[in-house]
Chains A and B, each alone.
Chain A
Amino acid sequence: MVGAACAYYAARSGLTVTVLDRGPVAGGTTGAGEGNLLVSDKEPGPELELALLSSQLWRELAELLPPVTEYEPKGGLVVASGEAGMAALRDFAAGQENAGVTAHEIPADRLHDLEPHLTPALAGGFHYPQDAQVQPALAAAHLLKAAGERVRLRLGEEVTGLLTGASGEVRGVRTASGEVHGPYVVNAAGTWGGELARLAGVELPVLPRRGFVLVTEPLPRVVRHKVYAADYVADVASGSAALQTSAVVEGTPAGPVLIGASRERVGYDRSLSVEVLRRLAAGATALFPALAGVRVMRTYAGFRPYLPDHLPAIGPDPRVPGLLHACGHEGAGIGLAPATGLVIARYLTGGEPLLDTAPFRPDRFPAAV
């Protein structure tokens, strides 16, 4: 998704772009995501700025992309089970509102107006109308298509090395079937971005953080917003390798309800964890008791590209002229993709930066010894 957005905005700025992927379109983390476009889970700071810009860009893109991409500005609803949680949410939302986020407090007795099937045992919540959702694989595929003739797709082609000039500047990439020349290379390899950086001789410590998603049988709209428990925010921000789960529940236009979210650092292990399934299911049925009899059709694991400070790497790499990074967005890559793409396009065309990208500098991590 991030690569597609970079290609789209670069092409719109007049550049010609070749998109290389060793697999198909949306074959990596994009294809395993839920397609969340969230501002609600981000504390004030550089990531929230990026998310707010993205939120606006997504609304523009939604006009352009066909309806099958399922863009839905449905809003998020964060709920707390007790008064302490509610007080914490209130503080969090106050900070966000200063940064430009719209958040409405919903008292316990009004939650049912928004979500009729929600458990009555809650202290209240906050409604975030700017939260939205999109079908990520279709959005990526149609965004590439919308980019038009300036974008060429070369799928099933793995980058095996970088081509460099006399002074170490990037001249293109090498693949199994030949060379692709260009003055700029954008690393949008997501969870595998660290490997691509290594091909260029630089270190970018992207690590996979596994998450499972449960997908139910198709239902009518039982869940109208993206609904999640307050502890999700803490889990997103945490760096722990241990398993964390928090209940995140949302319906989709196609019918199935998606249930997350788990986070654990276990490398690229896809094997089924019954404990994760148990916790996700228990969390979802605690929020929506009516879901207890609904069947889970399938489950799958995906790998979020995670950097140690939970911020993505966006922008030129001062260590290798011509190399730019656009990866490490963790679980927010779909949401942050358009702003990332636009920022990258500005760098490529020498335009004015849109926002302060210093916190996303790719070389901000001390080199591993």
Chain B
Amino acid sequence: MPTSASEPYDLAVIGAGPAGLSGAVTASESGLSVALLDTSGQVGGQFYRHPAPALGAVRPEALHHDWSAFTELCRRQRASDIAHLAGHHVWAVTREGGGVWAVHAVTGADGDGERPVCVRARAVLLATGAYERQLPFPAWTLPGVVGAGGAQAMLKSGLALPGRRVVVAGSGPLLLAVASSLAAAGARVPAVVEASGYLRYARHPRVLAANPHKLAEAATHGAALLRHGVRVRTRSAVIQVHGTERVEAVTVARLDPSWRPVQGSGRRIECDALAVGHGLVPQIELATTVGCATRRTADGTTALALDDLQETSVSGLWAAGETGGVGGAQLAQIEGELAGTAITARLLGRPRLARSGRVDELCHHRDRMRVFADVMAAAHAAGPGWAHWLTDDTDVCRCEEVTAGRVREAIDDLGARDARTVKLLTRAGMGWCQGRMCGAAVACLAAGGGAVPPPDERRPLAVPVPLGVLGALGSPQGAAVAAEGAEAVVVAEGLRAAEATERGAVPDAADPAGKADG
């Protein structure tokens, strides 16, 4: 740990999931001073999310694979002198002079603790994970519709179920895991509805053979679903939710290869909740703001472009895990260790460390798993025909209540040609989630059936920041101003309450899910 407050850490790690935790312990054990920042109160990230100790859960591992890998990382973290900064919401990373980075954060459970924190470090490891991708469909804003990742998170942290009869829908490997967790926790799962087929995996037998753990994982979920009598419908989608106050049933339709619903194939399934998600999107805005190069993934998301040792195109800034493309917890942990080693080699001037046998082995594992991740992404990439699910009155942006009809009007009548102008002309993407929920859908609609440009994932403020905190940055009276700010917060809360009354209550939005660490 730095000996004085003004001395920078060697390394600031943002995100305490498998990637960040693994990077932090690796670097710390090699002698670096490390600060580990995370929004959550405890380490583990989204994947190893577990109940707060106060809940007294006896077997949190029941919902987890690789729990032992996690407990081992935790043991190493406890044995280290890593400064674990829990409840820190990082809103920007900026470059200061002399090769030092400034990591700007606000504290508090929801970023509302009002205390601005600036952590300085000579290197930064971005391990901010991913958030869930949603594609809108009629009535998806009805209470009882939750994100698939959100449902999983609710189970892991609070052991609460979103409903008693839960349909799981969308696309991606997460659906099977979510369904088997829900079933194990006592919910009935009348169907898992997967928009892609699984056959596309079979086109890559060598990739599958090289990743036996992935097959084993799928087999475990498959067996669990079979045991609970859960039916998996592939090449199908939920195209309509029914209910007045909350979910009462869904309509599931078969899809053609472009994901366009097949006429007359709809069938109604009774349920009281729907857990839906279309894969994960790397959470990379901290990196894009400083100009890191990106790459397009096989399922149309934007990930960071990284070199062999996990460094971004901006020297001194490394990334591991989902930020470099969604690939799961095991890959994240391997990449975290690689990045931690590479950073140590750079900062301590020991280049041989980065050429060791262990590094070769890690690179080999990573490359193998990355190939699998690419196959997986390609298999679940959304087909362009999904937009046929939308009716003109379907909300696309739920924060600002912008319908598909208004998005189409902006494109057809007003000259919008991309997600940014749709936003300017309709407010879609200007609300609380800053386009994380509707970005993929809007970009697809704006492309009008043509090639969809990858979203640029630029959000110069990664999380909302109170004005009082921004205004007090770097000032010696920062603390005093923040204290004054606390009074102002009360006023602001009052203003917000007045606003809620004025505009009418906002419908109870489904958990945006998977708002990842960092």
List the interface of chain A (C-beta within 8 A of B): 23-27, 31, 137-138, 141-142, 144-145, 153, 155-156, 214-220, 222, 254-256, 259, 271-272, 274, 277-278, 280-285, 289-300
Contact = CB atoms under 8 A, between A and B. Distances in A.
B374 interface: no
* Interface-centre pick from A272, A280, A291, A293 (highest chain B CB count, 10 A): A293
B518 interface: no
A145 B414 contact: yes
B64 interface: no
Given A277-B470, A289-B488, A31 B414 contact: no
B421 A153 contact: no
B331 to A, nearest CB: 30
B467 to A, nearest CB: 5
B92 A141 contact: no
Interface of B: 92, 94, 102, 104, 114, 289-291, 410, 413-418, 420-421, 424-425, 427, 430, 432, 434, 459-461, 464-474, 484-486, 488-493, 495-496, 498-499, 502
A80 B306 CA distance: 51
Given A137-B425, A145-B413, A298-B459, A292 B474 contact: no
A221 to B, nearest CB: 10
Q: Which 5 A-B pairs have the closest CB atoms?
A: A292-B468, A25-B415, A293-B489, A293-B492, A292-B488
A27 B92 contact: no
* Interface-centre pick from A24, A26, A142, A285 (highest chain B CB count, 10 A): A24
Given A292-B466, A297-B430, 12 more contacts: A23-B417, A141-B414, A218-B499, A219-B496, A274-B104, A278-B473, A281-B469, A281-B470, A284-B467, A289-B484, A293-B488, A293-B493
A214 B492 CA distance: 17
A153 B94 CA distance: 41
5 contacts: A24-B417, A24-B421, A26-B415, A219-B496, A282-B472
A290 B417 CA distance: 39
A285 B421 contact: no
Contact of A291 (B114, B291, B416, B488): B488
Given A31-B421, A274-B473, A296-B461, A219 B495 contact: yes
Contacts of A300: 460
Given A219-B499, A290-B495, A296 B466 contact: yes
Contacts of B468: 281, 285, 291-293
Contact of B434 (A26, A31, A254, A298): A298
Nearest to B498: A220
A292 B414 contact: no
A297 B424 contact: no
Nearest to B488: A292
A292 B485 contact: yes
B466 A220 contact: no
A26 B421 contact: yes
Nearest to B411: A24
B492 A294 contact: yes
B124 to A, nearest CB: 15
A218 to B, nearest CB: 6
B460 A24 contact: no
A292 B484 contact: yes
B498 A296 contact: no
Nearest to A284: B467
B471 A278 contact: yes
Contacts of B461: 296-299
A229 B459 CA distance: 29
Nearest to B489: A293
A183 to B, nearest CB: 25
Contacts of B291: 271
A274 B94 contact: yes
Given A278-B471, A299-B461, A290 B492 contact: yes
Given A220-B502, A222-B495, A271-B289, A294 B467 contact: yes
A297 B434 contact: yes
A27 B499 contact: no
Contact of B460 (A31, A222, A292, A298): A298
A155 B465 contact: no
B4 to A, nearest CB: 22
A278 B478 CA distance: 11
Nearest to B497: A220
B492 A291 contact: yes
Contacts of B410: 141
Contact of B102 (A24, A31, A271, A274): A274
B467 A292 contact: yes
Contacts of A23: 417-418, 421
A141 B415 contact: yes
* Interface-centre pick from A23, A254, A294 (highest chain B CB count, 10 A): A294
B489 A292 contact: yes
Given A23-B417, A31-B420, A282 B488 contact: no
B499 A285 contact: no
Contacts of A277: 470, 473
Nearest to B486: A293
Contacts of B427: 254
Contacts of A292: 466-468, 471, 484-485, 488-489, 492
A48 to B, nearest CB: 29
Contacts of B416: 24-25, 141
Contact of A285 (B432, B471, B495): B471
A141 B425 contact: yes
A27 B495 contact: no
B471 to A, nearest CB: 4
Contacts of A24: 415-418, 420-421
Contact of A297 (B414, B421, B464, B498): B464
Contact of B490 (A256, A278, A280, A293): A293
B424 A295 contact: no
B489 A155 contact: no
A295 B104 contact: no
Contacts of A25: 414-416, 421, 425
Contact of B289 (A31, A137, A272, A291): A272
B414 A296 contact: no
Contacts of B474: 274, 278
B422 to A, nearest CB: 9
Given A31-B424, A293-B488, A298-B434, A142 B465 contact: no
Contacts of B460: 272, 298-300
Nearest to A300: B460
* Interface-centre pick from A282, A295, A296 (highest chain B CB count, 10 A): A295
A272 B94 contact: yes
Nearest to A135: B424
Contact of B470 (A220, A222, A278, A289): A278
Nearest to B422: A24
Contacts of A219: 495-496, 499
B487 to A, nearest CB: 8
A331 to B, nearest CB: 18
A219 B494 CA distance: 10
A26 B359 CA distance: 50
Contacts of A138: 414, 424-425
Nearest to B290: A271
A281 B502 contact: no
Nearest to A272: B460
Contacts of B473: 274, 277-278, 281
Nearest to B434: A298
B467 A281 contact: yes
A69 to B, nearest CB: 10
A274 B467 contact: no
